[in-house]
Amino acid sequence: MTDTPKQAGERIATRRHARRMTQADLSRASFVSLSMIRGIERGVRSPSGKTLDSRRA
């Protein structure tokens, strides 16, 4: 069973909070735009597999 965009966003936000990161921190660390992070966490944008794998090299 796959997550809805809202469920995925909630999981990402929960993990981000656990790491005491702001959305801007996550944006910089993952090379994903801040507006994309905000949209994903609100459930209005669906992260692609590539976006979910984004991380600093």
pLDDT at 55: 63
> Tens of pLDDT along 1-57?
578 889 989 999 999 999 999 999 999 999 999 999 999 999 999 888 887 777 643
* pTM of the predicted protein model: 0.83
CA distances to 3, 4, 10 from 21, in Å = 23, 23, 14
> How many angstroms separate the CA atoms of 25 and 13, rounded?
12
> How many angstroms separate the CA atoms of 15 and 9, rounded?
10
Which residue, among 41, 45, 46, has the nearest Cα to 13 in the 3D structure?
A: 41
